[in-house]
A and B are shown apart, each in its own frame.
Chain A
């Protein structure tokens, strides 16, 4: 079965960087985009970007350009999202999600990771 398993909670200081991982299984990793979405406590969903495991291409929301890096390792079917220059308002649960389908890559589908809680505090 399809699974996306994310790395554990992180505590970072303001100004630091973090890299989160999302290990996938149960489907061909290179066939569907991985989206990164975050949700601050009590807030809505915020799309951060997508990563194409087949080509390595990425597209980020304008808000995160220059601060986010999305990569992947096809040998271990794992996607990564790095976020730099962390601020207190980056504190959120970060989700990875597989795209809806091979023919609908520009939308997260029903397979999401369990989420990684990022705390940013001095």
Chain B
């Protein structure tokens, strides 16, 4: 099973909003509302920012939001801040109770 498709990189200026897409299939993203998003800063382990498509993990800023349409989920970060810089990964459960990650997106705050 191939990784979920994410753009390799996105960038934005402080204060702007950016979105990161995560495209799968009807067997994962499109079939279940179990998409999660992780932020990984250099040298750190991943941190959950969203779970079940739209829910923010405890302590996560309300600048982070999620959505899904068909086989594509999206993470939107509004009011971009320097501390948001890092790699972002989506994940989705599948019908066989497995998990699949996206390839990751490097977010650069200009």
Q: Measured between alpha carbons, how far is A81 from B84 in the docked complex, in Å?
A: 33
Q: How far is the CA of A58 from the CA of B69 in the complex (A)?
A: 31
Within 8 A of B (CB), among A85-122: 95, 97, 100, 104, 106-110, 112-115
| Interface residue stretch chosen among A7-15, A16-24, A44-52, A70-78 | A44-52
* Residue contact B34 to A107, C-beta cutoff 8 Å: yes
State the interface size on chain B (CB cutoff 8 A). 26
Q: Are B91 and A47 in contact (CB under 8 A)?
A: yes
Is B109 an interface residue, CB under 8 A from the partner?
Answer: no
From residue B56, how far is it (CB to closest CB) to chain A in Å? 12
Given contacts A100-B51, A106-B93, A110-B48, A50 and B101 within 8 Å (CB-CB): no
Q: Mark B37-67, 1 if CB is under 8 A from A, else 0.
A: 0101000011110011000010000000000
Whether a CB of chain A sits under 8 angstroms from the CB of B100 is yes
A45–B57 touching, CB < 8 Å? no
Question: Are A112 and B45 in contact (CB-based, < 8 A)?
Answer: yes
CB–CB B45/A35 < 8 A: no
Chain A residues closer than 8 Å to B57, beta-carbon distance:
100, 110
The 5 tightest CB contacts between A and B, nearest first, are A44-B104, A112-B45, A106-B93, A47-B99, A45-B101
| B residues at A contact (CB < 8 Å) | 1, 3, 34, 36, 38, 40, 45-48, 51-52, 57, 87, 89, 91, 93, 96-104
